[in-house]
Amino acid sequence: MNIRLKLLRKQGGWTLEALAEKAGLTKSYLSKVERGVCVPSIAVALKLSKALNVDVEQLFSAINNRELVCITRADERGSLGDPALGQRRAYESIALAMAAKKLMPFMLYPPEDFADSAFVEHEGEEFLFVHQGVVEIEFPTETVQLSAGDSLYFNALIPHRTRSVGEMQAQMLVVVSNERHQ
């Protein structure tokens, strides 16, 4: 529970003192629980789960890769479209198994023509890294060309669209922020 509790506290933006106060505990005792020096009673675990606004089971569940570390092998990416059916793979999701992501990473295979790619805009920020080929990213007031190894970071509320230019199909790593607004 110690690592789990500390992780939940930090994810919630709580200091030791603030969480201890909200749960009706002392900072010293909470610190001991986080360090594994003390094992909390069920009553204390219930207080902590209420203060953190999580199910008490989350305090005791084993930390596993599904929640904290996610490895996605190249052949395990979640693909939209099936090349075997003649469908072009436009996106491949990365880190599908990761719970509660603040970032959404995926591989993008942009079309060759802007006509096949509508302008999009969304909340958050976007980071593009060209892995292979050459791409153009069109904004309302300018078009930017990026080659393999180049990157672009921008406010995703700006309408944008991408296309692959040249003979080689471009591949880009795209990371979009996924902050939940409360």
CATH of the domain at 31: 1.10.260.40
Q: What DSSP state is assigned to residue 98?
A: -
Cα separation of 52 and 57, whole Å? 12
Q: Where are the beta strands (DSSP E) in the chain?
A: 78-80, 91-93, 103-108, 125-132, 134-138, 143-147, 151-155, 161-165, 171-177
Beta bridge partners of residue 136, listed in sequence order? 145, 163
Residues 120 and 173 in one domain: yes
CB–CB of 30/61 below 8 Å?
Answer: no
Kindly report, residue by residue over 48-95, the tens digit of the pLDDT: 988 988 877 777 665 544 456 677 777 777 766 555 555 555 777 777
Together in a domain, 25 and 106? no
Number of domains in the chain: 2
pLDDT, tens digit (0-9, with 9 covering 90-100), for 128-175 = 999 999 999 999 999 999 999 999 999 999 999 999 999 999 999 999
- The predicted model scores a pTM of 0.60
Taking the C-alpha atoms of residue 112 and residue 168, their distance in angstroms, rounded to an integer, is 10
CB 130 within 8 A of CB 144: no
Asked whether residue 83 is domain-assigned, the answer is yes
Q: At which residue do the structure tokens 């007031």 appear?
A: 141
Same domain, 47 and 23: yes
Question: Are 83 and 144 found together in one domain?
Answer: yes
Full domain range(s) for residue 98: 74-177
What pLDDT is stored for residue 136 in this prediction?
96
Q: 7 and 59: one domain?
A: yes
Same domain, 161 and 142: yes
**149 and 87 fall within a common domain:** yes
Position of tokens 């002392």? 26
